[in-house]
């Protein structure tokens, strides 16, 4: 019998350039918060999963380093990687361990110290995350280049403009300015975004997420344990997952991320969400805005808007606080930051706090339905996870 699973404790470090702490110290910032939030001690954790894409940081075995420093040994552990979706893969594995009855309390931690390497090295490592021999080595594609292909295709077919892309950045920086954990807690104007230098046309610097250090932690528990620990468990109602080809030349178009569509359909089916109008089920969503075009694509891949109409949601401010679907009130990857393998766990942390109405009032979503969604992409749709969280318990 599959058991219900809830998030009972969350924590997140300050995101940014964190030369002030070591790798394990950065992990402890979020782990200690999650333990305090759940009212637990290290001895209560039965298993811990560390998501870390790595390569740019000094620790090749992050899970054992984190386990020793955070006092989690000798409990079992593993490191997981799914590119930028690594954090969501850690949430899924923690969920599945508990749902299957193998443990009652599992910690999922995402962590990166990307700024231990110089920027060109980080850019190269991320660029290698597509198809290295065909796309990176032969044609020199980097990730801004990948998403520029999606942006130009979308602009050509649907008439979106560079100003529309910048509207995503303006929104996310607005809410990021109220998030003390964000890498860039500051507002920007449309004019500032439009004047920022090009990275890969039509994407500019202020269309792009930064290189980020950070950690995020979530403690998951079985239903019986969760009820004893908290009056406000946040239930993991469904997890959808999918993948796509490593080589973009094998994909049908640049107007959608197929893996995201498949992951959303899987999650909706599990949760009983009508895919013809999913937005009506959710109060708030965190979507993967590694570049501004990615948020607009997410609106459509998730079914919040029809094809070609996602741009209208940002033009009409429908994804702001109080709108029909409130999106990236953390500041998103754009302003909150994007520590690759910590991002998915960070989304779970944010949505847990949003549903519990514990975030800063300026960026607190209106919570009516008690449901939330995270959309976490690895690479350019190489991996995709769509997680659904709720205040009400799923049926057993």
Q: What is the distance between the alpha carbons of residues 153 and 279, in angstroms, rounded to a whole number?
A: 25
For residue 391, the surrounding DSSP H or E stretch is: none
| Eight-state DSSP code of residue 347 | H
| Beta strands at 76-80 and 47-51: parallel, antiparallel or unpaired | parallel
Annotate 275-288 with three-state secondary structure. Answer: CCCHHHHCCEEEEC
Peptide bond into 202 cis (omega under 30): yes
- Taking the C-alpha atoms of residue 310 and residue 295, their distance in angstroms, rounded to an integer, is 9
Clarify whether 338 is annotated catalytic: yes
Is residue 147 within 8 A of residue 302, CB to CB? The reply is no
Is 84 noted as a catalytic residue in this protein?
yes
Structure tokens of 131?
Answer: 């198809």
Catalytic residue selected from 95, 173, 338, 382: 338
Q: What is the DSSP string of 108-153?
A: EEEEEEGGGS-HHHHHHHHHTTS-IIIIIHHH---HHHHHHHHHHH
- Rounded to the nearest 10 degrees, what angle do helices 62-69 and 23-38 cross at? 60
- The C-alpha atoms of residue 238 and residue 217 are separated, in whole angstroms, by 19
End-to-end Cα separation, the chain, in angstroms: 9
Active-site pick, 70, 84, 166, 290: 84
* Structure-block tokens of residue 33: 């918060």
Q: Is 373 helix (H, G, I), strand (E, B) or coil?
A: strand
Catalytic site residues?
A: 84, 338
């Amino acid at each position: 019998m599959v058991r219900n699973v809830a998030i009972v404790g969350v924590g997140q470090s300050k995101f940014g350039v964190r030369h002030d702490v070591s790798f394990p110290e950065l992990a402890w910032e979020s782990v200690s918060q999650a333990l305090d939030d759940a009212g637990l001690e290290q001895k209560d954790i039965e298993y811990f999963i560390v998501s870390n894409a790595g390569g740019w940081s000094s620790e090749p075995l992050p899970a054992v380093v984190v386990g020793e420093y955070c006092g989690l040994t000798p409990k079992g552990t593993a490191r997981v990687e799914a590119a930028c979706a690594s954090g969501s893969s850690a949430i899924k594995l923690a969920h599945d361990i508990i749902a299957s009855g193998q443990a009652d309390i599992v910690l999922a931690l995402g962590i990166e110290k990307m700024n231990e390497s110089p920027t060109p090295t980080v850019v190269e490592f991320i660029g290698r995350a597509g198809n290295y021999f065909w796309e990176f080595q032969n044609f020199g594609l980097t990730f801004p280049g990948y998403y520029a292909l999606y942006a130009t295709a979308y602009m050509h077919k649907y008439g979106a403009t560079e100003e529309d892309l910048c509207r995503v950045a303006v929104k996310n920086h607005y809410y990021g300015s109220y998030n003390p954990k964000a890498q860039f807690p500051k507002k920007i104007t449309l004019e500032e975004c439009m004047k920022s230098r090009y990275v890969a046309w039509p994407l500019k610097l202020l269309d792009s997420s930064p290189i980020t250090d950070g950690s995020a932690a979530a403690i998951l528990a079985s239903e019986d344990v969760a009820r004893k620990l908290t009056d406000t468990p946040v239930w993991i109602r469904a997890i959808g997952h999918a993948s796509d080809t490593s080589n973009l030349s094998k994909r049908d178009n640049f107007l959608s991320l197929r893996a995201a569509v498949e992951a959303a359909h899987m999650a909706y089916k599990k949760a009983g969400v009508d895919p013809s109008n999913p937005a009506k089920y959710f109060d708030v969503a965190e979507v993967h805005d590694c570049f501004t075009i990615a948020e607009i694509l997410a609106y459509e891949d998730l079914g919040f808007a029809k094809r070609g109409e996602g741009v209208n949601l940002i033009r009409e401010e429908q994804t702001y606080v109080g709108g029909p679907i409130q999106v990236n009130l953390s500041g998103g990857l754009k302003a909150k930051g994007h520590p690759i393998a910590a991002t998915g766990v960070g989304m779970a942390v944010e949505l847990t706090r949003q549903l519990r109405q514990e975030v800063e009032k300026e960026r607190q979503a209106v919570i009516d339905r008690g449901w939330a969604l995270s959309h976490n992409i690895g690479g350019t749709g190489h991996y995709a996870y769509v997680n659904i969280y709720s205040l009400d318990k799923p049926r057993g």
